[in-house]
Amino acid sequence: MREAIIDYGNTLKLERGRSDHTVAGYESDLLQCAAWLAARKRVRDWREVTQAQATDWLYSLSGDGAAVSSLARKLSALRGFSRHLVREAVRADDLTALLQGPKRVRRAPGTLSAGEVEKLLAAPQGGDALALRDRALLELFYSSGLRVSELAGLNLQQLDLEQGYLRVFGKGAKERVVPVGGKATEALKTYLAAGRPGLVKTRTGSALFLSERGGPLSRKTLWFIVQKYAARAGIARGVKPHQLRHSFASHLLGGGADLRAIQEMLGHANLATTQIYTAVEEKRLVEQHAKFHPRSRE
């Protein structure tokens, strides 16, 4: 059963361009399922698994207190894998065809206020290479609404500062063009001229943002950078990197940007995913009304 899972992971990676992080998550969920089937149902071959047994696995997770989002992700992994088994003629039927997943309530993403963003972007001070890098990184993060993995994986060739945009290869290796704002362009030019050269080492490649060792930044380092400057900016609540992406979308929508344009910039496959930001804007409007309208207060 493990070999079939690894084969599926290779298919996701090589044929569909899924990231290592995504593939590892799917493989972990499926290995968990295989272990449960072997231990509880004495099943050691995917051809023997029944829909009832797959349902029992999901119910067992629910009984263990797994979050709805976790259950939905595990079911998604099993669905994709089951269809893969049918395509590869391992099974004649899709064992997840009749499975019903838990209803997932989409929560409004956490965002920063415009004032908090200003403080965060102003936090990197000084003219040394790391300060210039971090200033450019934060400006670009907020200016373009990139995913953390996209920001960490940027190469010099993807950037066109003269035209004011960059090309990003997002989920599923899909390419999209993302604008780069004036402030971010200015910070990037300064970093490329006076910051990045000081971080280049003998084996440095074409990564845009470099670590002190001259290699590309990891997602863990990006996380640390955002948290460090959030603390320095005096933002009391915890700030996570993806909140800059959410703030980018929410602030664009609040400024009157078209929802479909925001969808394209974020790289969302479905408009429904982008519509979650309308809830953020609606909540802000209600709060503003309650705060300032003379008839809102008792």
Catalytic residues: 147, 171, 242, 245, 268, 277
SS3 label, residue 124: coil
Please, how many CA atoms are within 13 Å of residue 239, restricted to the half-sphere of its CB? Answer: 28
CA distance 247 to 249: 5
* 175-179, strands of its sheet edge to edge: 159-160, 165-169, 175-179
Q: Which residues face 145 on adjacent strands?
A: none
SS3 label, residue 60: helix
* N-terminal to C-terminal alpha carbon distance within the chain: 64
Closest-CA residue to 57 (of 84, 85, 81, 78): 78
SS3 label, residue 210: strand
